[in-house]
């Protein structure tokens, strides 16, 4: 089995980087999370990333992460692949997160490079390798230097690609040509980590997407992936044009978790758009502008 085929079987092709629903007091709402997971899978997602940064992982705690993974696996784990974030800038903390994800039933891990403290490339390698070696789960690497402050360099990627359980990369570097070279060189499966570049990544060989916009357009994302697989580039291009305003509305400010929750509240998919500090929920003006954008896209009823 090729790495691409193994990654698709392990992670799926259309993953939503799922928000963590919360009540107005900031408590994690497990019932709302399960309902949202079911909605996303019904809409076309065949994978969900839990406890990633869109899921506010820096401000949720281990018992909450565990409860979320366990509940969502029970709710939709027979229909979608559940990938758990194992991100921290403390290696031992990330190892504990990974082990808990394995115990609570996750099918795979998303491992981001350590953020803020900006280790050397050797430090990045040892961090990710330590997490990978601590569990028996397959791993998708997450390269997003604009957020973490440190990239997964070519040398580190090549070394990690030698590990049997490192199968894929979620690439949010914005550098599609470099990603094309890297996927060909390493044999790793690549996923688009930037909704605005989904078409570009897919046409350059990515096997799927890890999407924030998929909270409201999972079906269209799935159709785009299927269109590329079927060789129907014109349909994929049309979908990319249709989705561009939605991606801009949700992600243009860089506040994906905030705006995804706001959109889901507008659609009645979650009860509240609450987030945890230091994030701040969308205000009424922002909510109105987002509603206008969703109506223009035909997602929200007029």
The residues annotated with a catalytic role in the active site are 142, 170
Residue with tokens 């609450």: 274
181 sits in the region (left: phi over 0; alpha: psi -120 to 50; else beta) called alpha
CB 50 within 8 A of CB 16: no
Taking the C-alpha atoms of residue 299 and residue 302, their distance in angstroms, rounded to an integer, is: 9
194 and 29 Cβ atoms separated by less than 8 Å = no
Peptide bond into 39 cis (omega under 30): no
């Amino acid at each position: 089995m090729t790495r691409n085929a193994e990654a698709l079987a392990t992670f799926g092709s259309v993953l939503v980087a799922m928000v963590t629903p919360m009540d107005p007091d900031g408590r994690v709402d497990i019932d709302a999370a399960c309902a949202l997971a079911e909605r996303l899978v019904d809409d076309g997602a065949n994978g969900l990333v839990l406890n990633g940064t869109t899921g506010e992982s820096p401000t949720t705690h281990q018992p909450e992460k565990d409860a979320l993974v366990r509940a969502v696996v029970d709710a939709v784990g027979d229909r979608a692949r559940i990938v758990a974030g194992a991100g921290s800038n403390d290696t031992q903390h990330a190892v504990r997160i990974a082990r808990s994800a394995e115990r609570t039933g996750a099918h795979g891990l998303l491992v981001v490079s350590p953020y803020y403290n900006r280790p050397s490339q050797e430090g990045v390698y040892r961090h990710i390798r330590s997490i990978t070696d601590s569990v028996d789960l397959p791993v998708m690497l997450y390269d997003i230097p604009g957020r973490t402050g440190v990239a997964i360099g070519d040398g580190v990627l090549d070394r990690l690609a030698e590990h049997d359980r490192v199968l894929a990369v979620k690439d949010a570097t914005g550098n599609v040509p470099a990603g094309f070279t890297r996927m060909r060189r390493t044999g790793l499966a690549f996923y688009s980590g930037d909704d605005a570049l989904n078409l570009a990544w897919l046409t350059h060989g990515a096997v799927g997407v890890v999407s924030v916009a998929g909270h409201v357009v999972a079906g269209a994302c799935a159709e785009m992936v299927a269109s590329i697989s079927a060789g129907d580039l014109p349909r994929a291009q049309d979908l990319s044009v249709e989705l561009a305003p939605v991606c801009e509305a949700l992600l243009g400010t860089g506040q994906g978790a905030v705006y995804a929750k706001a959109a889901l509240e507008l659609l009645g998919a979650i009860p509240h758009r609450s987030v945890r500090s230091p994030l701040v929920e969308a205000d009424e003006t922002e909510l109105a502008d987002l509603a206008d954008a969703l109506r223009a896209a035909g997602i929200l009823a007029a």
